[in-house]
Amino acid sequence: MVIMLFKKLSDVSEAEMQKMLSRGSGLEDVAKTVSAVLSDVRTKGDAAVREYTNKFDKVKLENFEVSDEEFEQAFSCIDSKLLDHLKSAAENIRAFHEAQLPEATWFMELKPGIVLGQKATPLESVGAYAPGGRASYPSTVLMTVIPARVAGVEQVIVCTPPKVDGSIHPLTLIAAKIAGADKVFKLGGVQAIGAMAYGTETVPKVDKIVGPGNVFVTSAKMQIRDVAEIDFPAGPSEVLIIADESADAVMAASDIIAQAEHDPSSVSILITTSQTLAEDVKREVFVQAEQAARNSIVKTSLENAAILTADSMEHCIGFSNKFAPEHLEIMVYNSDFVLDRIRNAGSIFIGNYAPVPVGDYASGTNHVLPTAGYAKIYSGLNINHFIKYTSIQKISKSGLESLKETIIALAEEEGLQAHADAIRTRFGYRPSK
């Protein structure tokens, strides 16, 4: 029997609301274990990586790096039509992220003699993590490597967990080649994050690590930020659907099931102004859950699901902004009204024909997104995650003169006399004892 919260929003208890909003990631539960693994990788390098790959993935590996022969074999065993589909998805992802590219360097004349500007510089090295475990994710390789390459990152490596036979799914390897990765390593979990953060005899240290993962991977990313930047925390995947009577119940239910099959901890919520739609979606979810290929995962995940009815579209929007979903689907007559009022969402899908899998695979938008409410403060993966910005100032003597009194006054007020004198010396002043 599928258990799912089905209520009016106004009748949701404080405990039920807290459960939906907090959807805890469990980071605190694994932090100590993760810290110990990271410490070993930092001090023992490849030896620790081998040890933990054997312990956690049940794979004994002498060489972590994927060889040229393995790449050639991957290409030889993949159907040509599937390869074409992968290339098509890659083209769309590349095009969307190229549209995000900032101007490399720009200047503006603030006032005569005062020219200000900004220079965009790509990071030197990035590590992309692609999960394994229950499934392989070549799409995640495209989503992480392509934006880094478009941004101009010099070195991009990929870590992804090996299968029990020590191999990587062929399509994942092909995705890495198509996306432009320099190296691929058969490493997963905490040891992969540690290897990329600290560097080992085999795995190069990177400046930033991006990509989703389980609670152990997320905890590891959070703990290595003193030596490498990360994109953002990411927990179990989630979808929130805002709908009115114009939504198709079968389609909405299929989107809930699609989200539920990700992981037993995935979260799926529909909030609607239509009681009729709510009833229809609930009934359809039960039917589709029984038919789902990943039936057991879906049913467990649906324990985290909810179908809520609200008195107005404003109440739906208010709940959505409080929830800050990773994926937000808007299935309403007046989508512009809703879109204008959305403040917090990782990625937005508008209309009955824009389900989350569109962004997961082929439209070109990025599917590496903040979860667990982090959409309130983080953006989904984009070009800016791979670029740093440096301000530039070109000041003439006349330009400095126009700023002189302001700078001196503020510097002296802060007790920084040398700062004030650095301005005065440009106009003939010489400090004396």
Catalytic residues, by residue number, are 326-327
Q: Which residues pair with 114 in a beta bridge?
A: 111, 395
Tell how many helices (H) and how many strands (E) occur in the chain.
Answer: 17, 14
DSSP letters for 264-319:
TT-EEEEEES-HHHHHHHHHHHHHHHHH-TTHHHHHHHGGG-EEEE-SSHHHHHHH
Other CB atoms within 10 Å distance of the CB of residue 10: 10
- Determine the Cα–Cα distance for residues 273 and 243; give it in Å rounded to an integer: 7
Contact between 165 and 70 (Cβ < 8 Å): no
Helix axes 275-291, 249-260, angle to 10 degrees: 50
Take residue 372 and report the two structure tokens written for it.
């667990």
- Determine the Cα–Cα distance for residues 433 and 274; give it in Å rounded to an integer: 80
Contact between 210 and 231 (Cβ < 8 Å): yes
Q: Which residue has the tokens 């004198």?
A: 421
Buried b (16+ CB within 10 A) or exposed e, 324-334: bbbbbbbbbee
Cβ neighbourhood burial of 79 (10 Å; 0-12, 13-18, 19+): exposed
Question: What is the helix (H) or strand (E) element at residue 328, kind and residue range?
Answer: strand 327-331
- Residues in contact with 77: Cβ distance below 8 Å, sequence separation at least 6, in sequence order: 170
Take residue 235 and report the two structure tokens written for it.
């927990």
- Determine the Cα–Cα distance for residues 182 and 191; give it in Å rounded to an integer: 20
- Determine the Cα–Cα distance for residues 208 and 414; give it in Å rounded to an integer: 36
Take residue 340 and report the two structure tokens written for it.
């204008």
